[in-house]
Amino acid sequence: MNKYIFTLLLTAVNTVCCLAQANISPAAKQTKTIAITGATIHVGNGTVIQNGTIVFNNGKILSVTANGQVPQGDVIVIKADGKQVYPGFIAPITNLGLIEFSSVKATLDYEEIGNFNPHIRSLIAYNTDSKVPATLRSNGILMAQITPEGGTISGSSSVVQLDAWNWEDAAIRADDAMHMTWPAIPRQRGEGGGGRGNRMLQTPEMLEERKQNAISELDGFFAEAKGYAAISKPAVTNSRFAAMKHLFDGKQQLFISADSQKDIVDAVNFAKKYNIKPVIVGGDEAYRIIDFLKENGVSVVVKQPHALPNENDDDVNMPYKNAAVLANAGINVVISIDGYWQQRNLPFMAGTVAAWGLDKEKALSEITLNTAKVLGISKTTGSLETGKDATLFISSGDALDMITNHVEKAYIQGRDINLDNLHKQLDRKFSEKYGMKVSD
Amino acid sequence: MMKNLLTLALVFSAAIVFGQQTYPVNGSYDTRPGLFAFTNATIIVNANQTISNGTLLVKGQTIQSVAQGTKVPDGYVQIDLKGKFIYPSLIDPFTSYGLPEPVRPEGGGGGGGARRSIFVTTKKGSYNWNEAIRPETEVRNIFTIDTKKADDLRKAGFGSVNVINRDGIARGTSAAVALSDERENNVILKDQTAANYSFNKGSSQNDYPTSLMGSIALLRQTYYDGQWYNKQKKEYNISLKDFNEQQNLPQIFEVDGWQNILRAAKIGKEFGKQYIIKSTGDEYQRIDAVKATGSSLIVPVNFIKAYDVEDPAEARNLTLAQMKNWEMAPGNLAALEKAGIRFALTSYGLDNPKDFWTNIHTAIENGLTEKQALLSLTEIPAEMIGISAQAGTLEKGKLANFIITSEDLFKSTNVIYENWVQGKRYVVSKMNINQLTGIYNLTVDNIGTLNLKINGTTATVQQQGTDTTKTNANFVRNGDWVSISFNLKKNPSGGVRLSGYLTSENPVILRGESVLADGTGGKWSAQFKEANNEPPKSDNAKTVPSTGKLIYPFGAFGTETAPQQETILLKNATVWTNEKEGILQNADVLIENGKIKAVGKGLSAGGAKIIDATGKHVTSGIVDEHSHIAIAGGVNEGAQSSSAEVRIADVVNSEDVNIYRQLAGGVTTSHLLHGSANPVGGQSQLIKLRWGKTPEELKFGGNDGFIKFALGENVKQSNFGSGMRFPVTRMGVEQTYIDEFTRAKEYKAELAVKGSVVRKDLELDAIVEILDNKRFITCHSYVQSEINMLIHTADSMGFKINTFTHILEGYKVADKMKAHGINGSTFSDWWAYKFEVAEAIPYNGKIMHNIGIVTAFNSDDAEMARRLNQEAGKAILYGNVPQEEAWKFVTLNPAKMLHVDNRVGSLKAGKDADVVIWSDNPLSIYAKAEKTFVDGVLYWDIDKDAQLRVTQQSEKARLAQKMIESKTKGAQTQRATKRAPRIYNCESLEDYSAELNDMEGVKAHE
């Protein structure tokens, strides 16, 4: 029968330990069927199941039902009445695990030198022992797309889950996408209130010419890479071109950072020329070319909503509204947030989008199912549906709002993961010093 | 030897108008009488007096008489000026004519600043410690005649100029020179016209100052040093000696932007100086504030070109401010005149000297009177630089500096024929050719013959024969030189450019070189065929072009009229009082005269305007303990380990759009801090976000002064800089404080004994204020060791620490902070961005709060400050702090640590009406600030904001249309390029002067 009935309060943090994070070991494989009952289940595809039951075993979801029955047998039942269940949030485009302290050079592994670096692969530098991922899991972020930066072509990202011994078992999808930055005109520094003149350090014509040169260089690179891909045995190996192969056979996605409407159109048309349907990253002005994006079926990874408007004259709340404007117009939108440690605020980016115009469940999709789609992992992740990975968490309240987000349990591929982290450990260490009760 | 002789021969080949008194002559002397009589002219003696049919007698370099009906004495060369005009020649009070281009230090305009670890002057000799203070520079010692530039200036009508060495903060004396190309000895009219100043350290190689506030502090200290210097005998200092001696001269201060006019005038007021301020032409944006300074101005006429806006995507790069400025700047001079501000004009800053008259005409079209224009080009600059006895009007005994013109100087068709300087004639254009107006046969190689119609300052060309389409041509006459360009569109297509000169007067023939669009060169000529009877373009359509309205601030989200205080009753809300009443349901808040009148249930409205706040949450405004918005010219003066002398108060920037953005996030009070580049930073400034007011009006008022201290990686320059500035370790940081406070105590003791003979030290004054509990410390801090250190240092040196800001390891020393009554203002959840935050935890706020420390969350970030309410919400996520207490983290608690909780931070009768209406629980991600009041004035309203954006859009569309029209009419345009808004945080480093210099560098190469 139902032998193990946990009440969440007990499980919360009863592993009192005040030592290093080394104790936070990756969880063991799921061995018993788990059923979570009585929860509000946010499926991730826009639907909500009240009083839902989710059952999973061997890391896979067996069923998601309303008022569902708990299967018989050796099942762990978790009563989650009044609580919320979410698919694990996915952080796209992050240098998580490639960087530990952004001002300490020795800890930086996210940006290689050189302009065309398609052969660079983030996965092998992803540090599962970084202290950061554990601080994300406890807010519901369970997967991430580890992405290199720098140059025009930065290299390949990989999608990982955030509870692993090493990068090999972290990988959900290796080399999922190639990342590229569309050559754009850099912005001049603006007014500082000292009343500087209107003079530019470089003329607009010089900047435009530089951009056009960069684009034609990029075009040349793609053309040769495509040609190279058609040679069965190249006389001379070119590792850069070789790394581009899967862009042309469709096995790898192309992400292009572009913000202005012209740059976005140029970038999409450029990719089209090579039979590639790109994902646009950034897309500040995507809302101005919605029809174009829809016609071309282009998804947009919007930059973090918690940003300042680009222009002095812009609606002060434009960054908050942007994702909602695009999504409501029918574009597949993914929400991102800059940085690595900052990823723990990803849920609140979705919350902001919900506050500023998008249905809350759709906002949730923008950090779950939509993300899984553009990362090419939606067959197994992104929503709570039968057959997918049991990567999910239970929050006592609305996980998109900081005053209610409270992750009590989380599972990655069915594994019951440890929600402790360095910060909780230090909180305990010093709360105990002062004789205060600890959090959670 | 040969070479020298040749040079001399060249110099003396010119006739000698007036005797070279001291220089010997190689050969026979050629001293001429220089007697000239100009007859039958309309003589404009000065702006108020015109003599028609007058005679001007000149002897040598002096005017002998100006009158009607003068009999021309024998021996005078008579020049008949019937129908022509004589004006006093123009005076430019602000030029760098005849000076070498100062050598600017290399680059440095980028993010890193130009720190080179040069701490004191590199100039040898007994000069000032800082190279930017260089009053010993005297133009009379370095001026040399520049014949090319003199010629350019004379062509524009100038006869004398003030020459300023535009280098440094105290720049030394300028000199007035005549624009003759005689020997220097003869052209210097006044050797010391003014002492000159700016905020730009120029070519100084010293790191200090790196910021605008540093420049201000250095100048302020120099005034005190000057006062001290006269009372002491220990030191000989040429710079201070000269500085003091120059105090009785006129004082000219070059600034950029109206805010810097106010800043300069404020320093002037402090030291009893009324500067003449060289401005940049944006004074119209705050004319009242500029007028209130009482300053006379020297104003440029370099209006910006219209932008290319045909491509809407590119046009979006333009801000409303840029577009409005394009439209309104030409009205600046008219606005100054109307306001009764005394001003002179300068040609300084023009890309091309030929634009001078074009722009003067534009200014006149936009409402500047001709009389004022003449005054501002003659008598006023003469007075400013003290050469009224010699120039500015045409009177007996003054220099024979005058120009002969075809008509009224300010008519657009006017031609300057001759410019006489010190009695010497310079021909600008041939006098007999009044105008080139007429119809010509224009023959161009490879095109054939066309009709050219010249009409005053405009021209058209036309194919001869069947196709008689008229094409507008660009026509420019400069003396005897003309340039014509046009595009016939076909036969041939593309632009045709002609340049040439007047070769024959009767008939008029123009001739020169041609270039076609494909680069084919050739010759052209145009011969007068018949008179052009079309009426010339009328000059006297005196309707001033209409423009959009002035808005405050001048740019996005500015409004024509300032919002006013109202009496308002907010009804039926959830009211977060932050007082013992706690959170009241269905309660009201009454606002009157900028104060909270009452908080409670069922308040009667009386005459108040009622706002139904059912379902809303009402709170006091957010107080940001750590902000860097609204600051001009850099937040760090980091060249020295202590910059206690610098004051954010000097550089508040009222035009920063982040003020408005933060009002939209419910912020009403911001503590503007110096950055964290050095252990002792600068003095901070508390402001209220009174959007649209002037910098002084933003200041909180009546509050205690604070100062920024900083510990850790930034002050030891771990991540930037050369690492040559002490200190580079936490060990050195301690000694910096010990040294600073030790010196301050000794200074205080010395002051007590010796009084005012002690050199006033602005840096130590600020430290003494700390010791006297008159100034309070907020200290940027990260790791526990250094926090502990400062607590110990404070105990041993006898000062108090008011607040640790950032204080990310506050949780490790919370007990010690509590015991010392120190407040903690931290980030909600930042960590890992550098090594010293390796153990920063989001539970920090909770632990400090639970220990009993007054705890706040701050922003240090223009973006995060817009949602500090949510940051407070994270105290619940990380630590489950009760909501009411979490809310105080961003309101009452920072108010307490800033000593202003008697005025802000809670909703209580008698406090300032800084009130926010939220759509939801203010700690929630779903809450929007719908209305934000400061002092009872509604500065943010989410509905009005939507309207404002619509208005703004249509204003920009109107301006774009106007730019396109002006381009169609042939005006020059420029491309619109995106500019990144400037956002500061604690670590922002830049070099104010280096950036200004970079811009000048670009100009020099254009």
Distance from CA of B747 to the nearest CA of A (A): 34
B211 vs B130, B177, B192, B707, B724, CA distance in Å? 14, 34, 30, 17, 19
Residue A188: per-residue pLDDT: 62
Flag if B256 and A403 touch (Cβ within 8 Å): no
Flag if A401 and B926 touch (Cβ within 8 Å): yes
3-state secondary structure of B730: helix
Find chain B residues with C-beta within 8 A of A193's C-beta. Answer: 257, 259, 630-633, 651, 653, 655-656, 982
**Closest residue of A to B875, CA-based?**
A403
Residue B721: per-residue pLDDT: 67
User: For residues A213-240, b (16+ Cβ closer than 10 Å) or e, as one string?
Assistant: ebbeebeebbeebbebbeeeeeeeeeeb
The span from the CA of B96 to the CA of B92, in Å, is 10
Question: Is the CB of residue B169 less than 8 Å from the CB of residue B159?
Answer: no
Q: Is the pLDDT of residue A391 over 50?
A: yes
Flag whether residue B816 sits within 8 Å of chain A, measured between CB atoms: no
Flag whether residue B155 sits within 8 Å of chain A, measured between CB atoms: no
The type of residue at B306 is A
Residue B103: per-residue pLDDT: 72
Is A131 a domain residue?
yes
ipTM of the complex in this document: 0.94
Find chain A residues with C-beta within 8 A of B321's C-beta. Answer: 312
Flag whether residue B337 sits within 8 Å of chain A, measured between CB atoms: no
Question: Is the CB of residue B183 less than 8 Å from the CB of residue B11?
Answer: yes
Q: Return the biggest CA–CA distance within chain A.
A: 79
Contacting residues for B542 by C-beta, under 8 A, at least 6 apart: none
Distance from CA of A186 to the nearest CA of B (A): 8
Low-confidence ranges of chain B (pLDDT < 70): 1-20, 104-115, 431-435, 467-468, 478-479, 534-542, 721-722, 979-982, 996-1006
Q: Is the pLDDT of residue A15 over 90?
A: no
> Nearest-CA neighbor of A278 among A249, A247, A241, A244?
A247
- What CATH number corresponds to the domain at position A314? 3.20.20.140
Flag if A308 and B928 touch (Cβ within 8 Å): no
Residue B28: per-residue pLDDT: 85
Flag if A193 and B633 touch (Cβ within 8 Å): yes
Is A115 a domain residue?
yes
Is A44 a domain residue?
no
- Between positions 971 and 990 of B, the ones with CB within 8 A of A are 974-983
Domain extent for A193: 89-381
Interface test with B, best of A316, A343, A407 (most B CBs within 10 A): A316
3-state secondary structure of A289: helix
Q: Which residue shows structure tokens 């982290």?
A: A421
Interface test with B, best of A132, A139, A312, A405 (most B CBs within 10 A): A312
Is A126 a domain residue?
yes
Question: Is the CB of residue B294 less than 8 Å from the CB of residue B265?
Answer: yes
DSSP characters over A24-58: -PPPPPP-SEEEEEEEEEE-SSS-EEEEEEEEEET
pLDDT digits (tens, 9 = 90+) for A239-292: 999 999 999 999 999 999 999 999 999 999 999 999 999 999 999 999 999 999
Flag whether residue A200 sits within 8 Å of chain B, measured between CB atoms: yes
- What are the φ and ψ backbone dihedral angles of A242, each rounded to 5 degrees? -60, -35
Q: Point out the residue among A260, A340, A439 whose CB comes nearest to the CB of B879.
A: A439
Instruction: pLDDT band for A5, please (50, 70, 90 cuts).
Output: low
What letter would DSSP give residue A136?
A: H
Instruction: pLDDT band for A16, please (50, 70, 90 cuts).
Output: very low
Distance from CA of A402 to the nearest CA of B (A): 6
Residue A201: per-residue pLDDT: 61
Flag whether residue A102 sits within 8 Å of chain B, measured between CB atoms: yes
Flag if B879 and A188 touch (Cβ within 8 Å): no
Flag whether residue A340 sits within 8 Å of chain B, measured between CB atoms: yes
- CA–centroid distance for B71 within its chain: 53
Find chain A residues with C-beta within 8 A of B201's C-beta. Answer: none
Residue B692: per-residue pLDDT: 96
Find chain A residues with C-beta within 8 A of B976's C-beta. Answer: 204
Residue A69: per-residue pLDDT: 85
Find chain A residues with C-beta within 8 A of B551's C-beta. Answer: none
Flag whether residue A197 sits within 8 Å of chain B, measured between CB atoms: yes
Interface test with B, best of A141, A187, A311 (most B CBs within 10 A): A311
pLDDT digits (tens, 9 = 90+) for A214-244: 999 999 999 999 999 999 999 999 999 999 9
> Nearest-CA neighbor of B595 among B562, B636, B633, B565?
B565
Flag if A194 and B258 touch (Cβ within 8 Å): no
The residues facing B857 across adjacent strands are B826
Query: How many A/B residue pairs have CB atoms within 8 Å?
Result: 228
The span from the CA of B92 to the CA of B385, in Å, is 10
> Nearest-CA neighbor of B373 among B464, B301, B271?
B301
Q: Point out the residue among B830, B864, B982 whose CB comes nearest to the CB of A191.
A: B982
Contacting residues for B222 by C-beta, under 8 A, at least 6 apart: B128, B133, B169, B170, B240, B243
pTM, 2 dp = 0.91
Q: Point out the residue among A196, A352, A405 whose CB comes nearest to the CB of B877.
A: A405
Is A142 a domain residue?
yes
Is A421 a domain residue?
no
Q: Which two tokens stand for residue B362?
A: 């534009």
Flag whether residue A287 sits within 8 Å of chain B, measured between CB atoms: no
- What are the φ and ψ backbone dihedral angles of B314, each rounded to 5 degrees? -75, -35
Flag if A311 and B883 touch (Cβ within 8 Å): no
Element (H, E) at B263: helix B258-270
Flag whether residue A429 sits within 8 Å of chain B, measured between CB atoms: no
> Nearest-CA neighbor of B973 among B305, B302, B473, B327?
B305
Q: Is the pLDDT of residue A3 over 50?
A: no
Is A27 a domain residue?
no
The type of residue at B441 is N
Residue B410: per-residue pLDDT: 95
Residue B317: per-residue pLDDT: 85
Flag whether residue A435 sits within 8 Å of chain B, measured between CB atoms: no
- CA–centroid distance for B881 within its chain: 47
Q: Which two tokens stand for residue B705?
A: 């002064």
pLDDT digits (tens, 9 = 90+) for A65-80: 998 888 888 999 999 9
Question: Is the CB of residue A194 less than 8 Å from the CB of residue B257?
Answer: yes
The span from the CA of B627 to the CA of B685, in Å, is 10
3-state secondary structure of B669: strand
3-state secondary structure of B624: strand
Contacting residues for A113 by C-beta, under 8 A, at least 6 apart: A150, A151
Domain count, chain A: 1
Contacting residues for B961 by C-beta, under 8 A, at least 6 apart: none
Q: Which two tokens stand for residue B929?
A: 């600030």
The residues facing B404 across adjacent strands are B86, B418
- Between positions 29 and 88 of A, the ones with CB within 8 A of B are none
- What are the φ and ψ backbone dihedral angles of B259, each rounded to 5 degrees? -65, -35
Q: What average pLDDT does this structure show over A116-124?
A: 98
Is A423 a domain residue?
no
Flag whether residue A385 sits within 8 Å of chain B, measured between CB atoms: no
Flag whether residue B718 sits within 8 Å of chain A, measured between CB atoms: yes
The span from the CA of B496 to the CA of B484, in Å, is 8
Tell me the angle at which helices B212-229 and B762-771 cross, rounded to the nearest 10 degrees.
Answer: 100
**Closest residue of A to B660, CA-based?**
A316
Residue B893: per-residue pLDDT: 98
pLDDT digits (tens, 9 = 90+) for A400-419: 999 999 999 999 999 999 99
Distance from CA of A252 to the nearest CA of B (A): 32
Find chain A residues with C-beta within 8 A of B863's C-beta. Answer: 306-308
Question: Is the CB of residue A118 less than 8 Å from the CB of residue A153?
Answer: yes
Interface test with A, best of B253, B259, B843, B921 (most A CBs within 10 A): B843
Q: Which two tokens stand for residue B37?
A: 């009589």
pLDDT digits (tens, 9 = 90+) for B356-384: 999 999 999 999 999 999 999 999 999 99
